[in-house]
Amino acid sequence: MLSVAVLAILGGCGNKDGDQFIGKWENAKRKETVEISRNGDGFIITDTAPNFFGGGMKTVKIPATYQKGMLQVGTAFGNANIGYDRQHDTLMMPTMDGSAELTRVK
């Protein structure tokens, strides 16, 4: 009986799906920073990047869900996927001109 309780407790420990995305990320070339945090069962992505239309920096918060190993966000053009490269500890974020690679801020 005790071993079943211990297994149940230990089984609940460990990483949740999507934990690899949590943290602060940056792309120095694009002067962009991204912070990803949990929000209940989903995630919030806080993206700060240059505002090309009004100057200065612009910060937006975007809800995301974890789907099939990626974070998925809804856009005006449909869903976009944010990937994680475990080997290099980088994010691949979609952009208007393809994708941008962001590195984890340590």
Does 86 map to a domain? yes
Tell me, rounded to whole angstroms, the distance of Cα 75 from its chain centroid: 15
Residue 36: CATH number of its domain: 2.40.128.20
Residue 7: the pLDDT is 33
Q: Average model confidence (pLDDT) for the chain?
A: 86
Domain count, the chain: 1
Is residue 64 pLDDT above 50, yes or no? yes
**92-103: average pLDDT:** 89
| pLDDT digit string, tens, across residues 11-56 | 344 568 999 999 999 999 989 999 999 999 999 999 999 998 888 9
Residue 39: the pLDDT is 97
In whole angstroms, give the CA distance from residue 12 to residue 77: 37
Does 11 map to a domain? no
Provide the residue range defining the domain that includes 96.
18-104
In whole angstroms, give the CA distance from residue 79 to residue 39: 19
| Type of residue at 8 | A
- State if pTM tops 0.85: no
